[in-house]
């Protein structure tokens, strides 16, 4: 049911949380469903700068339509697709073999004065920082930072004037290894979910005014449930059926440079794998977590204990993500002249994510059953309402932004 703004006045007397009265201009929104005054906040549509939609080639995993519907339902109005698992990918192994430090150095040389961002895996941070002074004007960016061991290196490089930033993901800020049940491969991602101690240290860095972590993204990386090799209790197949259907190769959700030792063995043992796969096998399961569209409720729920404000969330997930991908002139802020991408957020509603609420193509996610505080009531894209709080409305109107980066 549509949300309705019913009363606006330059003079309204509001009761504040401490029960004092305030005369102020105000707009009161009322839910026609409950007849109550609702708590509504307007935010810029979120810009999720790291999403895998897997189209073309693996549309049984996701696709633009389902992925962006899920995004819209969570107030996300722009996604940046990383076509890593699409077929064909942006490039092939033959065209783009594993890079060496020399390759990185020459890339930096060529790009040093370009309005672009060079992105790297965390595993390469020390190497990158050695090369970075050769291209001091180039923006370097570390994707899905999870291990806090890199943070001192990044802080030092930033203190020395290098333009290097990092992103982390919603799951690294909210999930922790200690709480994952054995065999719950819905949590398998790459890099992996780490300890509570690591998670707290990520938060500590995130909350610093000069934090090297400038953005938070989903790294939405779905697959079909079979590839998660879920245990039977989580809806997976029996061991025999899983073994029979397992033909996909082991891969991860991102651009890992070096597979772990065990993964190498798995790859080498691929031929005999059909008989070895056991439901709940973390090593064999696809690495990737579905979460596009959940970022705002995840962070807003965590914010209660972490002293994070809604303005911080907008900075991390709208303003800075738009800037990171060179779209700040169109996206990420509520500002005259920008695209009218708006998220209408009720910061008080509590709700539980059920499978029925998941709008991705495959409703498999470690966020199932989580209780969130705060829910997106409407989403508007370029002036058109695309989400009414319960349904995606109207025809798909998303456009592909392929403009050449200017900043």
How far apart are the C-alpha atoms of 404 and 280, rounded to whole Å?
Answer: 44
At closest approach, how far in Å is the CB of 63 from Zn ion? 17
At closest approach, how far in Å is the CB of 220 from Zn ion? 8
Footprint of Zn ion on 235-264 (CB under 5 A): 253-254
First to last CA, the chain: 40
Query: Given the complex with Zn ion, which of 253 and 363 has the nearer CB atom?
Result: 253
| Token pair in block for residue 79 | 């996604």
Q: Mask: binding to Zn ion, 144-183, rule CB under 5 A, as x and -?
A: ----------------------------------------
Query: Given the complex with Zn ion, which of 242 and 325 has the nearer CB atom?
Result: 325
How far apart are the C-alpha atoms of 397 and 378, rounded to whole Å?
Answer: 16
At closest approach, how far in Å is the CB of 190 from Zn ion? 8
| Token pair in block for residue 91 | 């490039």
> Is residue 217 within 8 Å of 48, Cβ to Cβ?
yes
At closest approach, how far in Å is the CB of 143 from Zn ion? 7
Alpha helices per DSSP H over 225-349: 239-245, 261-268, 295-306, 310-314, 320-324
| Token pair in block for residue 169 | 């993901």
At closest approach, how far in Å is the CB of 64 from Zn ion? 16
Query: Given the complex with Zn ion, which of 58 and 377 has the nearer CB atom?
Result: 58
How far apart are the C-alpha atoms of 283 and 252, rounded to whole Å?
Answer: 11
The secondary structure of the chain in percent helix, strand, coil, rounded to multiples of 5, reads: 30, 20, 45
At closest approach, how far in Å is the CB of 141 from Zn ion? 13
Query: Given the complex with Zn ion, which of 148 and 221 has the nearer CB atom?
Result: 221
How far apart are the C-alpha atoms of 186 and 189, rounded to whole Å?
Answer: 8
At closest approach, how far in Å is the CB of 359 from Zn ion? 20
**What is the total count of residues that contact Zn ion (CB under 5 A)?**
3
At closest approach, how far in Å is the CB of 61 from Zn ion? 13
Determine if 121 is a binding residue for Zn ion (CB under 5 A): no
Stretch of residues binding Zn ion (CB under 5 A), selected from 87-95, 200-208, 217-225, 297-305: 217-225
> Is residue 263 within 8 Å of 283, Cβ to Cβ?
yes
Applying CB under 5 A, among 62, 205, 219, 341 the residue interacting with Zn ion is 219
Query: Given the complex with Zn ion, which of 290 and 333 has the nearer CB atom?
Result: 290
Query: Given the complex with Zn ion, which of 253 and 321 has the nearer CB atom?
Result: 253
| Token pair in block for residue 372 | 């969130």
DSSP string, 317-354: IIIHHHHHTT-TTTSSS--TTS---EEEEEEEEEEE--
Residue nearest to Zn ion (CB): 254
Q: Mask: binding to Zn ion, 284-313, rule CB under 5 A, as x and -?
A: ------------------------------
Query: Given the complex with Zn ion, which of 254 and 284 has the nearer CB atom?
Result: 254
Query: Given the complex with Zn ion, which of 184 and 219 has the nearer CB atom?
Result: 219
At closest approach, how far in Å is the CB of 71 from Zn ion? 15
How far apart are the C-alpha atoms of 221 and 205, rounded to whole Å?
Answer: 25
Q: Number of H helices and number of E strands within the chain?
A: 11, 13
Query: Given the complex with Zn ion, which of 219 and 266 has the nearer CB atom?
Result: 219
At closest approach, how far in Å is the CB of 252 from Zn ion? 9
DSSP string, 345-404: EEEEEEEE--GGG--SSS---TTTT-EEEEEEEEEEETTEEEE-SSSB-SS-------PP
> Is residue 70 within 8 Å of 52, Cβ to Cβ?
no
Beta bridge partners of 379: 343, 387
Query: Given the complex with Zn ion, which of 166 and 242 has the nearer CB atom?
Result: 166
Interface residues toward Zn ion, by CB under 5 A:
219, 253-254
């Amino acid at each position: 049911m549509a949300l309705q703004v019913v009363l606006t006045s330059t003079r309204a007397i509001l009761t504040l949380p401490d029960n004092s009265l305030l005369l102020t201009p105000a707009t009161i929104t009322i839910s026609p469903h409950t007849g109550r005054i609702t708590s509504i906040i307007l935010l810029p549509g979120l810009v999720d700068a790291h999403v895998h939609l897997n189209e073309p080639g693996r549309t049984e995993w996701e696709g633009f339509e389902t992925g962006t519907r899920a995004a819209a339902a969570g107030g996300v109005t722009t996604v940046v697709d990383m076509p890593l698992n699409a077929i064909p990918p942006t490039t092939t192994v033959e065209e783009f073999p594993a890079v060496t430090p020399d390759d990185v150095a020459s890339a930096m040389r060529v790009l040093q004065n370009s309005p672009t961002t060079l992105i790297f895996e965390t595993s390469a941070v020390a190497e990158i920082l050695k090369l970075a002074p050769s291209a001091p004007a180039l923006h370097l960016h570390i994707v899905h930072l999870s291990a806090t061991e890199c943070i001192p290196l990044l802080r030092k490089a930033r203190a020395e004037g290098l333009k290097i930033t990092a992103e982390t993901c919603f799951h690294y800020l909210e999930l922790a290894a200690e709480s994952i049940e054995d065999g719950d491969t819905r949590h398998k991602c790459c890099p992996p979910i780490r300890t509570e101690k690591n998670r707290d240290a990520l938060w500590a860095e995130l909350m610093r005014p000069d934090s090297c972590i400038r953005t938070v993204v989903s790294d939405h990386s779905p697959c079909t449930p079979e590839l998660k090799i879920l245990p039977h209790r989580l809806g997976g197949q029996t061991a025999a059926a899983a073994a029979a259907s397992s033909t996909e190769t082991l891969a991860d959700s991102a651009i890992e440079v070096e597979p772990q030792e065990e993964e190498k063995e798995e790859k080498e043992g691929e031929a005999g794998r059909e008989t070895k796969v056991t439901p709940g096998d973390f090593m064999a399961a696809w690495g990737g977590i579905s979460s596009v569209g959940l970022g705002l409720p995840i962070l807003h729920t965590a914010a209660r204990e972490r002293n994070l404000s809604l303005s911080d969330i907008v900075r991390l997930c709208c303003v800075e993500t738009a800037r990171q991908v060179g779209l700040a002139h169109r996206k990420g802020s509520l500002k005259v002249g920008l695209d009218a991408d708006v998220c209408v957020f009720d910061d008080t509603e509590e709700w539980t994510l059920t499978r029925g609420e998941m709008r991705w193509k495959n409703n498999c996610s470690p966020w199932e059953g989580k209780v969130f505080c705060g829910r997106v009531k409407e989403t508007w894209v370029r002036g058109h309402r695309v989400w009414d709080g319960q349904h995606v409305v109207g025809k798909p109107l998303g456009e592909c932004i392929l403009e050449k980066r200017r900043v």
